[in-house]
Amino acid sequence: MQELLYYYFNWEVFWRYLPDMLGGFVVTVQMAAIIAVAGLWLGLLLAVVRAFRVRPVNWALMVFVDVFRAIPQLVIIVFMFFALPYVGIRLSAFWAATLSLGLVLAAFAEENFWAGFTSVQRGQWEAARSTGLGFLDALRYVVLPQAIRLAIPPLTNRTIAITKGTSLASVIAVQEIINRASSAQAQAANPTPLMMGAVMYLIIFAPLVRLSRRIEKRYAVWSH
């Protein structure tokens, strides 16, 4: 037990590296927030565009969605950071990782929102149009609210899973939790910083997991 406490819960190491770890905590929260907000909004926008059923546009959207859902997140991050400069696009490590994960979330979100659109009964469209609403108004006031409600339950867990992918940003030296923890572990020759990182991930994501359960229960009842 004494060895376990020394190697994994060493208070001297904890206090020495706490400021660095808090810096990584802030970076991780920033990335996760941007990824979640931008990814969900972009996914919704793409689903709305798809609702217009312009065939060439829909083909392009399907390619985008399939590519970003199929390729591992780490590969996309590495490509964004190391390959794009060859075509004149240079992103900082922070934005390369954030953009990569945001696009991955957008691809999954688009499919979930589109599934919500297709789940809305055709009679809802017809009833809205029969009242004199145009296509855009019917989409905005009748179909879209229902589609969003239907898409929320499956999207909550997906959003959490993808935002946890911020840990992959350590590969391109983003100073987030895992990067700071790995550096601190190497300097201290002690894995306590990794345990600190684990606690920080719990602080960030445990409340989100509980919130997602409540959201799923609420909207599951609504959908039935």
- Assign 219 a pLDDT band (cuts: 50, 70, 90): low
Question: What is residue 80's DSSP assignment?
Answer: I
Nearest to 11 by CA among 184, 196, 181: 196
Tracing tokens 């992918």 back to the chain, one arrives at 165
Give pLDDT, residue 196: 95
Q: Above 90 in pLDDT, residue 69?
A: yes
* pTM of the entire predicted model: 0.90
Question: What is residue 54's DSSP assignment?
Answer: -
Nearest to 46 by CA among 116, 102, 109: 109
Query: For 182-189, what is the mean pLDDT?
Result: 93
Kindly list the structural domains of the chain, giving each domain's residue range(s) and its CATH number in brackets, ordered by start: 22-223 (1.10.3720.10)
Query: For 141-153, what is the mean pLDDT?
Result: 82
